[in-house]
Amino acid sequence: MFFLVCFDIVDNRVRYRVVKILKGYGTRVQKSVFECANMTEYKFMKMQSDLEEIIDHGEDTIRYYPLCKHCVGQVEFSGTGNPPNTRAYSVS
């Protein structure tokens, strides 16, 4: 599965930790957006669990958008950047 993960984290220290976790699963494409390719159900649940443990549920937001292979192939963008990276990442 391919996920687009978007977040809005209030605290800078927590945001740094969120970014560190997400770098183990995907590619940072914008300051608060990661593309996570080739996610198994286990990897997704592990990533989500790790993130849920550190955020402030009263102030922070993380959204997980699953994209099918067809949808990933249809991604368009303007400006700098590269097409979605579909290579696998390992959990650190």
Q: Which DSSP string corresponds to 12-68?
A: HHHHHHHHHHHHTTSEEEETTEEEE-S--HHHHHHHHHHHHHHS-TTT-EEEEEEE-
Per the annotation, binding residues for Mg(2+) are 8
Q: Please report, for residues 27, 45, 80, the alpha-carbon distance to residue 83 in angstroms, rounded to integers and kept in the order given.
A: 11, 25, 10
Cβ–Cβ under 8 Å, residues 90 and 32: no
